[in-house]
Amino acid sequence: MLKKLTHLTIFLSAISAGLQAQPADKLTSFVNPFIGTGAVDASSLSGSNFPGATVPFGFVQLSPDTQDNPDNPASGYDHNDKTIVGFSHTHLSGTGVADLFDVLFMPATGEVKTVPGEADKPGSGYRSRFSHNEESARPGYYQVKLSDYNVNAELTATEHTGFHRYTFPAGAKSQVIIDMNHSLNKKRSYWSCRIIGAELRVIDNKTIEGYRILTGWAKMRKIYFRAEFSRPFSSHKMINGQRVYENEVFVNGTNIKSVLNFGENNKEPLLVKVGLSPVSLENAKMNMDQEISGWDFEKVVSEAENKWEQELEKIHIEGTKEQKQIFYTGLYHAFTQPNNMADVNGEYQASDFTIRKADDKKHYSTFSLWDTYRAAHPLYTLIQQERTADFINSMFRQYDTYGYLPIWQLWGDENYCMIGNHAIPVIVDAALKGLKGFDIGKAYEAVKGSSVRTHPGSPFDLWNKYHFMPENQQSQSVSITLEMAYDDWCVAQLAKKLNKTDDYTYFMARSMYYKNLYDSQTGFFRAKNDDGKWVSPFNPLQYGGNGGNPYTEGNAWQYFWYVPQDVKGLISLVGGDKAFITKLDQFFTLKDLPGEVNGNASGFIGQYAHGNEPSHHAAYLYNYAGQPWKTQAYVAQVLNELYNNSFSGYSGNEDCGQMSSWYIFSAMGFYPVNPANSIYAIGSPVLPKAVIHLPGKDFTVTTKNPSKKNLYIQSVKLNGKSYNKTYITHQDIVKGGTLEFTMGPQPNKKWGVSADARPLDSAFK
Amino acid sequence: MLKKLTHLTIFLSAISAGLQAQPADKLTSFVNPFIGTGAVDASSLSGSNFPGATVPFGFVQLSPDTQDNPDNPASGYDHNDKTIVGFSHTHLSGTGVADLFDVLFMPATGEVKTVPGEADKPGSGYRSRFSHNEESARPGYYQVKLSDYNVNAELTATEHTGFHRYTFPAGAKSQVIIDMNHSLNKKRSYWSCRIIGAELRVIDNKTIEGYRILTGWAKMRKIYFRAEFSRPFSSHKMINGQRVYENEVFVNGTNIKSVLNFGENNKEPLLVKVGLSPVSLENAKMNMDQEISGWDFEKVVSEAENKWEQELEKIHIEGTKEQKQIFYTGLYHAFTQPNNMADVNGEYQASDFTIRKADDKKHYSTFSLWDTYRAAHPLYTLIQQERTADFINSMFRQYDTYGYLPIWQLWGDENYCMIGNHAIPVIVDAALKGLKGFDIGKAYEAVKGSSVRTHPGSPFDLWNKYHFMPENQQSQSVSITLEMAYDDWCVAQLAKKLNKTDDYTYFMARSMYYKNLYDSQTGFFRAKNDDGKWVSPFNPLQYGGNGGNPYTEGNAWQYFWYVPQDVKGLISLVGGDKAFITKLDQFFTLKDLPGEVNGNASGFIGQYAHGNEPSHHAAYLYNYAGQPWKTQAYVAQVLNELYNNSFSGYSGNEDCGQMSSWYIFSAMGFYPVNPANSIYAIGSPVLPKAVIHLPGKDFTVTTKNPSKKNLYIQSVKLNGKSYNKTYITHQDIVKGGTLEFTMGPQPNKKWGVSADARPLDSAFK
């Protein structure tokens, strides 16, 4: 990959004069947007990331789609594909479900077919073949040579505007296709995706506007655009299904497209700015006008890159080039969302489908919370503190108009994907850490309200009645019981901080309900029906998916560890340290897989599956039972074997920053096992140096002798003093200081094993 | 029917003390909202009208639904049904396709089932049986006794607010069900109807709010409501699919309901005001607050009735009670829509799905134009002149945001139902008649723009290329050719008025393209393919529906007459007066029906089908060929046989006022054969007297000796002078005056037969 990028930089400067390769000391130079864009083979998972152009947390994410009706990967781009169907302006990064892909543009030459064409069939539709040798990407910039048309396409973006530069071959009949039906042809039927209405309208010979209204994973999305070209088109077609209208001003329908003809005088590249808005055509124009004046493509590329550089500078690391590439691409992926859905005037679509106005002009969405509450949001509370408050204020808006905090919020709208109410740990964590910019009273109202009002997947009436979820009344009952108990613990912590003693007692009691599904006979958390009897037969290897089974995207082995609020209680449930360690050892070594493994489970070490979230904290649990060197060994194994800097660099879907955030924390040496207790368990650091830049101060982590062999901690110093605990607190970090690790090839079985070395239940009294 | 109403008035005063029966001299007393609510048997058609409460042109039309997923009749109410499922707030009157039915309320007692239940199965779901003997309705008021619950339910409405009064039996456990899934259960799948999202939210113990967002015949509708009760509910259930939540504040989902419990203390009736808005919850509240303060149900009933009285007073007639009932119920149906979709602050959903604001607070929709341009809009140009301007300004808004004038506009949104672009005759007619309140330049821009931009159903590129619609490229080609030629004639007339000579010539030429489909061999308009060859085999009795056949909801016989812009040309095409008369005679006598008759064709006299629009002008065509007494005979036959004052009083769907407007004009003695040339052909008046009240003056029609036998005109006087023409002009009417008919049992074959007696091509030079 590295070799290829170097080659591409040369190719790029040859074909697009003026675009300077970035100086090597820029952190953006370590970001490889192709990481996570494909799987090595059909048995593994793509990270489901897209390689296209975006600014941090931007609404427009302009990227090539290799699939017309993307499903897997959900990013629309598969590194293994050989053709590109065009460039659409909105994408999801790392998700398991596909949506968005709005307003596809495709430059072409010659006689163009007006259907998208079948993937990877050369000459099919308006697709073009491409080669990774003629493709490059860096933060805020993407480039590809479309070989069937001999067109070089370059993309950059601002918050709401995509900027394209197409270099057509001299004398070729140059055209641009705009496809408003992209992503929603007849093949794609899940989530009942359907275009409700769409329009294209020629404003003048340099301008076209349009929109589409659709239902899909996001229940109802409206997406408006305005495109302005650097030179006039001489004629155009409007297409409605099979009907082609020559030079018509308007077309309305559900399957509409346009082909704009720019003639054969291609001395200058053709530029097009595409402003987008989820509110109106007027706002799309306003967004574009405010963000890009004139036609300086290089300037917009450079501004986008500077924005990324500024965000990446939150943490400076030393390490190998591969480590830097994984780390900074990880930060890049973590900062790709949530996305600010508000237009430049603050208007956004609220969860009640009205248009409302955010005074601060920020309304974030794409909250993949079942994934991101684990490590991505704790990372934001460290290095995106202002945005964390913005995220929380955005979540409050759903609470106000929808009644519950987000579960999985897409395009400002709840889709009830996955389980739990994991906005709660996000908000409680930020509140306990003392982040400013949101109202703590409102925070408590929202986390409590979302914990008492029964809603889909959260039947609190059953919870209060049975003290566990009965599988015959609520499927995924074991996973929900465990995750709900955790969320309840979080509510209790905020109640405690606010001296709401009764609430504290109530929610603490609920947080212990996890014990009611522990089956001491099998040694697992196991489903009961509402008659209180265990559901049989029981096989701890058996996988569940997203309903119809007590476990969510996992099995009883993977969910066994999900008591982050009470690891001590879990250890005691299983019979003490020794039994717990034995079970963990088994977990990491038991290789049996049943006939059917859930598609999200991948990246196996025994039963541990790093490719999906339920396992993410498990390797750190040895710290809690006195054998931290085993945490170090397995964390090192994950860091070294389950991440790399290739297109298939993740062991599963990247999941909106969660997979990357695991690496970012773990590579620095610590990880938030309980994402809301301000405690980080120490693992196996791999970076010689990492400096976290915090407001006014730095926290520096240094590691002596790190290597793939030197994976064991020999000793630790915190602020110069010998440190024997297997955790640090959030307070240790934010007050600034240094954490020094010394590594070696053999475990130091004396470090971190004393009783007081074990991670606390909470950093707060 | 009359008897029943009298009976009901007594019943009504008994059960709802305070509601006075209206004085007999009020015109509203002649409105029977049950006319058109059912078919006599399965072989005939319901008028598809609803009997519920509304104000003229109101947004809220609150009516009982006997069907949960209505299809036929599309009004939701079938007079033949025995149970009511509840009262929903929005309806269509007379259409062939069902939609709306928003926010269903149902009062109930005892142990209530929370599913709607199967139609007419007693004890099924929350339905109740009812009897027409315990049901009554008049303009702005509806009442029914729900016999399973012994609840008397009364309904009234303002523009945006429904007002319910439920009288529960003493001591019964009284409840109100709110069903947000009504009309969209699994059985109803056409037009891809689907709820995208819905919410219910208890605000306090007297208030509940909610909304639903859905796709259906209207592509995307949002409907918000706020309901305030006159006394508190003590507990409630929220229901999401199969899940029941006790006393939860919120519920979100696609199949949600609520049951509110009002206890057993039923001394006072329970009142509930339900404000609606297509924009937001805030607007729903604003609409309600502005329209109904306090809890005076009688006052709102009386205000609604007064609004109707004021509108009905546009025409005073004398006649039999049955004639008055048909006539005033007809006016009532004609004034039931178009509906003002703008909230009290002027906000409305535009055709690009944004919320916009109308400064005049009027934005009308529900334009069933293929039906209503024929006679309903000409009626509006006479007696709803201000609103006609409002209608046209509302249509301009679609032109501006959507590119074309409305074809069939529902809820502000084009649904491309039916054929032609019949906003054009509506706008041209109003412009030529000199109506004020809209911009004539804009009018021309819009009618011309909509006549040159190819769009679904209107392929002007083919029109310009072939000079007819080729069936193999555009189905329904004969009907479209004929109707498009007519619309083109209308554009030409406005071009002429504005001295746009080139445009006039161009559109006049297009208006003659109808001739290109005349097959002199068969004597019919017949389809050609794009090779210019006739489509074979040809059977003039063969029906088409809405695609797949050259004729739209009719056959070659019914479409033969559709050249209202050039009846002379048609006569000459067929070989002169005699041949034309012979063909008309055949049309009205040929009883052959093919195996399959389109479901909209009904009310037959030979091939003439009064139950659907293509025939509506045909009986008047004898005037154009010198035998006006045959016009008189067939018009009288339709008036006397195909209208009555029973629930099955129409011979087909009432079609948003068109069927009624035919009666209103024809009963007074004239009809707009060409709805945009300001000429009314004279038929067979049946009313002793009709006074049309126009701004500042009256036009009075008197008829001597009218009776079912005296159906022939003996003589006519206009403003006191003998009048021999078979037409009058719009100018004759609006300048005020008197038109006196003398009728007799035998034709006067000397009246109206001279060459200059025939209706002109246009009232304008």
ipTM of model:
0.92
Task: Average the pLDDT over B692-718 and give the result.
Answer: 97
- A194, A251, A454: residue with CB nearest B192: A194
- Closest residue in B to A215 (Cα–Cα): B196
Tokens 């992503």 — which residue?
A183
- Which of the four pLDDT bands, split at 50, 70 and 90, describes residue B622? very high
Cβ contacts (< 8 Å) between B414 and chain A: which residues? 252
- Closest residue in B to A250 (Cα–Cα): B403
CA distances from A338 to A353, A421, A432 (A): 19, 17, 22
pLDDT of B376: 98
Q: Two tokens at B18?
A: 């305070």
CB contact under 8 A, A192 and B197: no
Query: How confident is the model over B236-264, as pLDDT tens digits?
Result: 999 999 999 999 999 999 999 999 999 99
Residue of B238, B249, B252, B347 for testing the chain A interface, max A β-carbons within 10 Å: B252
B310 touches chain A (CB under 8 A): no
- Give the CA dihedral A593, A598, A601, A607, nearest 10 degrees: -30
- Closest residue in A to B241 (Cα–Cα): A456
- A196, A248, A280: residue with CB nearest B220: A196
CB contact under 8 A, A201 and B250: no
pLDDT of A185: 61
A403 touches chain B (CB under 8 A): yes
Burial B600-634 (b: 16+ CB within 10 A, else e): bbbbbbbbbbbbbbbbbbbbbbbbbbbbbbbbbbb
SS3 assignment, position A729:
strand
Helices (H), B266-340: 281-291, 297-312, 321-334
**B68: which residues sit within 8 A by CB, 6+ positions away?**
B85, B116, B117, B119, B182, B183, B185
- Closest residue in B to A282 (Cα–Cα): B354
DSSP bridge partners of A703: A741
CB contact under 8 A, A453 and B248: yes
B375, amino acid identity:
A
Cβ contacts (< 8 Å) between A354 and chain B: which residues? 222, 279-281, 355
What is the bridge-based pairing of β-strands A174-179 and A256-261?
A: antiparallel
A461 touches chain B (CB under 8 A): yes
pLDDT of A416: 93
- Predicted confidence (pLDDT) at residue B10 exceeds the cutoff of 50: no
Cβ contacts (< 8 Å) between A413 and chain B: which residues? 197
Which residue, among B372, B311, B427, B378, has the nearest Cα to B92 in the 3D structure? B372
Residue of B280, B348, B352 for testing the chain A interface, max A β-carbons within 10 Å: B352
- B220, B224, B250: residue with CB nearest A453: B250
B571 touches chain A (CB under 8 A): no
Q: Would you tell me how many other CB atoms lie within 10 Å of the CB of residue A758? A: 22
- Which of the four pLDDT bands, split at 50, 70 and 90, describes residue B190? low
Residue of A353, A409, A448, A462 for testing the chain B interface, max B β-carbons within 10 Å: A353
Tokens 């709110």 — which residue?
B178
- Predicted confidence (pLDDT) at residue B172 exceeds the cutoff of 80: yes
- A222, A249, A354: residue with CB nearest B353: A222
pLDDT of B9: 38
Cβ contacts (< 8 Å) between B284 and chain A: which residues? none
- Per CATH, A2-312 and A315-757 having the same topology is answered no
CB contact under 8 A, B280 and A219: no
pLDDT of A18: 39
B246, amino acid identity:
E
Q: Two tokens at B636?
A: 């009288």
Q: Two tokens at B210?
A: 């909610």
Distance from the A516 Cα atom to the nearest Cα atom in chain B, whole angstroms = 24
CA pair distance B482, B512, nearest whole angstrom: 9
Q: How much is the pTM?
A: 0.94
Ranges assigned E (strand) in A89-193: 104-109, 128-129, 135-138, 141-146, 151-157, 161-167, 174-179
- Closest residue in A to B199 (Cα–Cα): A402
What is the spatial order of strands in the sheet that B270-277 belongs to? B135-138, B141-146, B151-157, B161-167, B270-277, B221-229, B207-215, B194-204, B250-253
pLDDT of B728: 98
Ranges assigned E (strand) in A149-220: 151-157, 161-167, 174-179, 194-204, 207-215
Task: Average the pLDDT over B206-214 and give the result.
Answer: 97
pLDDT of B11: 39
pLDDT of A576: 98
pLDDT of B189: 57
CA pair distance A589, A607, nearest whole angstrom: 7
Cβ contacts (< 8 Å) between B186 and chain A: which residues? none
- Predicted confidence (pLDDT) at residue B438 exceeds the cutoff of 80: yes
- A245, A354, A404: residue with CB nearest B280: A354
C-alpha atoms less than 13 angstroms from C-alpha of A323 in its C-beta half-sphere: 22
Task: Average the pLDDT over B11-15 and give the result.
Answer: 38
The class level of CATH for A2-312 reads mainly beta
CB contact under 8 A, A456 and B219: no
- Predicted confidence (pLDDT) at residue B443 exceeds the cutoff of 70: yes
- Closest residue in A to B253 (Cα–Cα): A456
Cβ contacts (< 8 Å) between A454 and chain B: which residues? 243, 245, 248
Q: What does pLDDT average to over chain B? A: 94
pLDDT of A186: 55
A500 touches chain B (CB under 8 A): no
The least confident of B29-43, B499-513, B622-636 is B29-43
A465 touches chain B (CB under 8 A): no
What is the bridge-based pairing of β-strands A737-744 and A697-704?
A: parallel
Domain layout of chain B by residue ranges: 2-312, 315-757
B245 touches chain A (CB under 8 A): yes
Which parts of chain A register pLDDT below 70? 1-24, 185-190
B193 touches chain A (CB under 8 A): no
Cβ contacts (< 8 Å) between A352 and chain B: which residues? 199, 211, 224, 280-281
CA distances from A707 to A539, A638, A681, B19, B687 (A): 39, 14, 20, 91, 104
CB contact under 8 A, B199 and A250: no
Query: How confident is the model over A273-321, as pLDDT tens digits?
Result: 999 999 999 999 999 999 999 999 999 999 999 999 999 999 999 999 9
- CATH number for the domain formed by residue range(s) A315-757: 3.30.2080.10
CB contact under 8 A, A248 and B280: no
CB contact under 8 A, B250 and A355: no
pLDDT of A17: 39
Task: Average the pLDDT over B322-340 and give the result.
Answer: 98
- Predicted confidence (pLDDT) at residue B18 exceeds the cutoff of 80: no
